[in-house]
Structure 1
Amino acid sequence: MTTIHDVAQAAGVSISTVSYALSGKRSIAASTRQRVTDAVERLGYRPHAGARMLAGARTNILALSAPIRPDNHQPTQMRFVTAVVEAARRRDYDVLLLATDDEVSGIRRVASSSLVDGVVAIGVATVDERVDLVRELDLPAGFIGIPQGVDDLACIDLDFAAAAAESVDRLADAGHRTIGVIGHPASYGERDTGFIRRFDDAFAGRADSRGVETLTVAADLGRASAVRAFDDLRERLPGMTALVLHCSEPTAEAVLQRVRRLGLEIPRDLSVLAACASYPADEFEPALDTIPLPIDEMCSRAVGAAFERIDGHLDTGVELIAPTYLAKGSVSGPARAS
Structure 2
Amino acid sequence: MVTINEVAKAAGVSISTVSYALSGKRSISRATRERIDRAIRELGYTPNAGARMLAGARTNILALSAPLHADGHLPTHMRFVTEVVRAARERDYDVLLLARDDEVTGIRRVASTSLVDGVVAMGVTERDERVALVRSLGVAAAFIGVPGDSGGIACVDLDFAEAARMAVERLVADGHRTIGVIGHPHGYVDRQQTFMARFEDGLAAAAAEAGVRIVHEWAEVSRGAGARAADALLDAAEPPTAIIFHCNEPAVEEAERRVRERGLAVPQDLSLFAAAASYDPGRLEIPLSGITLPMEEMCTSAVEAALGLRDGVAQATTRILAPALVDRGSVAAVV
| TM-score exceeds 0.5 | yes
- Residues 156-305 of structure 1: matches in 2 within 5 Å? 156-236=156-236, 238-305=238-305
1:2 Cα deviation (Å)?
Answer: 11
- Name the aligned partner's letter for residue 136 of structure 1: S
Tell me the alpha carbon deviations over residues 67-107 of structure 1, each in whole angstroms, 9 at most, x when there is no partner.
Answer: 01111110111110010011111111110000111110010
- Residues 91-110 of structure 1: matches in 2 within 5 Å? 91-110=91-110
CA distance in 2, matches of 1:200, 1:175: 21
CA distance in 2, matches of 1:321, 1:47: 35
Range with bigger deviation, 287-296 or 52-61: 52-61
- Name the aligned partner's letter for residue 112 of structure 2: S
CA distance in 2, matches of 1:80, 1:88: 12
Indicate conservation of the 8 Å contact 2:305/2:314, yes or no: no
1:225 Cα deviation (Å)?
Answer: 1.9
CA distance in 1, matches of 2:286, 2:96: 40
CA distance in 2, matches of 1:333, 1:47: 62
Give the unaligned 5+ runs of structure 1.
4-45
RMSD of Structure 2 on Structure 1 (CA): 1.9
1:274 Cα deviation (Å)?
Answer: 0.5
- Residues 34-49 of structure 1: matches in 2 within 5 Å? 48=49
| Correspondence for 1:7 | none
SS at match of 2:228: helix
Range with bigger deviation, 217-226 or 96-105: 217-226
Indicate conservation of the 8 Å contact 1:128/1:147, yes or no: yes
Q: Percent identity?
A: 53
CA distance in 1, matches of 2:236, 2:313: 52
| Correspondence for 2:317 | 317
Indicate conservation of the 8 Å contact 1:123/1:144, yes or no: yes
Does the C-alpha gap of structure 1 residues 246 and 234 become closer, same or farther in structure 2, counting only changes over 3 Å? same
Does the C-alpha gap of structure 1 residues 62 and 272 become closer, same or farther in structure 2, counting only changes over 3 Å? same
- Name the aligned partner's letter for residue 260 of structure 2: R
- Name the aligned partner's letter for residue 329 of structure 1: G
- Name the aligned partner's letter for residue 277 of structure 2: A
CA distance in 2, matches of 1:329, 1:2: 62
CA distance in 2, matches of 1:52, 1:237: 64
Q: Provide the TM-score with structure 1 as the length reference.
A: 0.83
Does the C-alpha gap of structure 1 residues 118 and 2 become closer, same or farther in structure 2, counting only changes over 3 Å? farther
- Residues 40-119 of structure 1: matches in 2 within 5 Å? 48=49, 52=52, 54-119=54-119
Give the unaligned 5+ runs of structure 2.
4-46
SS at match of 1:103: coil
* Structure 1 runs (4+) greater than 6 angstroms displaced: none
1:237 Cα deviation (Å)?
Answer: 5.8
Indicate conservation of the 8 Å contact 2:233/2:239, yes or no: no
- Name the aligned partner's letter for residue 67 of structure 1: P
- Name the aligned partner's letter for residue 166 of structure 1: M
Q: Number of matched residues?
A: 292
1:150 Cα deviation (Å)?
Answer: 1.2
Range with bigger deviation, 137-146 or 280-289: 280-289
- Name the aligned partner's letter for residue 125 of structure 2: A
CA distance in 1, matches of 2:237, 2:84: 41
Say yes or no: does 1:123 pair with 2:85: no
